[in-house]
Structure 1
Amino acid sequence: MNHVDLTSGDPAAYRRLIDLGKQADAGVAAAGLDPLLPELVKIRVSQLNGCAFCLRMHTRDALALGETTDRLAVLSAWRESQYFSDVERAALRLAEAVTSPAAPPPATAEPDPLDARQAAAVGWLAVVMNAWNRVALTSGYPVAPAQGPTTAS
């Protein structure tokens, strides 16, 4: 696929997406959700979309906010782990439904711990993250290791 530079190809649309992202982040904060939750949602959406650029960025952001490597390591299998709260599980379930609407989410007997405002905030966050993934993938944002010494285990 040839990459199309969406970033500079239409700077006004790009700026609008930046503004929409800021609004979605503000909505999550205003809904009283944990500051780590948006990063979990952004990472999970980026996992589903295969966006390496956004995965690297939001994993780094989550770690800087105090997220643990254990939780990040099992995020793609969150349903099988006991690492995530009921609110986080509900947010991840909603983010997956927004990202893959053709695949019905697995049925759950769990009550939804998100109120209407929180669910809308998470839904918009997932919509915006899907848009960012498409921008990064279509534009071919580079994802390469940093130059210099690396550590190996």
Structure 2
Amino acid sequence: MKLRMNHMNANRAGFQAMLNLEEAAKKMGLDPVLYELIKIRASQINGCSFCLDMHVTDLRKMGESEQRLALITVWRETPIFTERERAALALTEAVTVISAGGVSQELYDEVSEHFSESEIVSLVMAINAINCWNRMAITTGMFPGCYEA
């Protein structure tokens, strides 16, 4: 595989804007494990191997179990995710594929049971950040290890 371009060098201002979005989203107070679960689920949906590899590795370093890592794609069929995590994962899916049906009132109400309005904004910012990264990585042909080669 070959990287199409190094977007970090091709447009430093664009890359800095992405870093600023990431930093802002990261500082909004979400639990770090939940933040990584969001990144993994969106990256799975979008098919971003680079981001998926990065965030699975990050969550593994945080002590996450292999079982939970393996079951994120089927989180609805397993009881090992908390209700709060499940609400965030459902919102991640809806926002990531927003053109398929938006965010239903039912889902919003479910998320509201577990998160304050401020936290919901934090969730959406985290979801938006990873979707931006996924789109950049996929468009520029990034893959796991592409900067090590």
- Answer yes or no: same fold by TM over 0.5: yes
Q: Which residue of 2 aligns with 1:114?
A: 115
State the TM-score, normalized to the length of structure 1.
0.82
Question: What secondary structure, in the 3-state scheme, does the structure 2 residue paired with 1:112 have?
Answer: helix
- State how far apart, in whole Å, the 1-side matches of 2:94 and 2:26 are: 19
Q: Which digits, 9 at most, give the CA deviation of each residue in 1:122-142, with x for residues without a partner?
A: 110000100000111111113
- State how far apart, in whole Å, the 1-side matches of 2:73 and 2:55 are: 14
Question: Would you identify which runs of 4 or more consecutive aligned residues in structure 1 move more than 4 Å?
Answer: 105-111
**1:7–1:135 CA contact under 8 A, matched in 2:** no
**Structure having the higher Rg:** 1
Q: CA deviation at 1:114?
A: 1.2
Q: Which digits, 9 at most, give the CA deviation of each residue in 1:6-62, with x for residues without a partner?
A: 3322110111110110110111x2xxx422000000000000000000000000000
Q: Which residue of 1 aligns with 2:134?
A: 133
Task: State whether structure 2 residue 100 is matched by structure 1 residue 103.
Answer: yes
Q: After superposition, where does 1:23-102 map in structure 2 within 5 Å?
A: 23-27=24-28, 29=29, 33-102=30-99
Mind listing any 5+ residue stretches in structure 1 that lack a counterpart? 148-153
Q: Root-mean-square deviation (CA), in Å? A: 2.3
- State how far apart, in whole Å, the 2-side matches of 1:142 and 1:97 are: 25
State the TM-score, normalized to the length of structure 2.
0.85
The count of residues paired between Structure 1 and Structure 2 equals 141
Q: Which residue of 2 aligns with 1:123?
A: 124
**1:43–1:55 CA contact under 8 A, matched in 2:** yes
More helix by share: 2
Identity, % of aligned pairs? 36
